[in-house]
Amino acid sequence: SVSGPDKSRKKGWSPKTREQVKNVAVCMLDRAYIPYSRFRVGAARECAYGTVFTGCNGENASYPAGICAERNAISHAVAEGHRDFVRIVIAGRGENFCVPCGICRQVMREFCAPDDFKIYLAKSPEDYREFTLEQILPMGFGPENLEVK
């Protein structure tokens, strides 16, 4: 993790913090293991009280065995006992913004409130777009859909 708990950060996201988290996501691009596609993705996911977990994509000769940066960051956080997420920054180096794949969107939906969870797509710390999970995964299937009545 990049930073420790800070209960004052649960609701707000200061410009300084925003820049730090975007910078961390962009730095993760260089850690990607991409011998086949050469397509780098970095991610930094912030938990409710300020802890930030990072991830990058990792490929494998058996393609389905690879993992996306977003799921890498989520798995890292969950393994450390965190499940209360507020935002993620996804960075890529392509001409277009790097959007999360369908599997990553669904994994985010497992842990995040669609209307509240923020997704930042970044080409650089200065060039980014903001979305909610609801905007990129409308009518998503979540844990509440499995409640037995």
Which amino acids are annotated catalytic?
A: 70
**Token pair recorded at residue 76:** 């890292």
Asked if residues 70 and 53 have their Cβ atoms less than 8 Å apart, the reply is no
Compute CA distances 75 → 36, 39, 45, 65, whole Å: 23, 21, 11, 15
C-beta neighbour count of 25 within 10 angstroms: 30
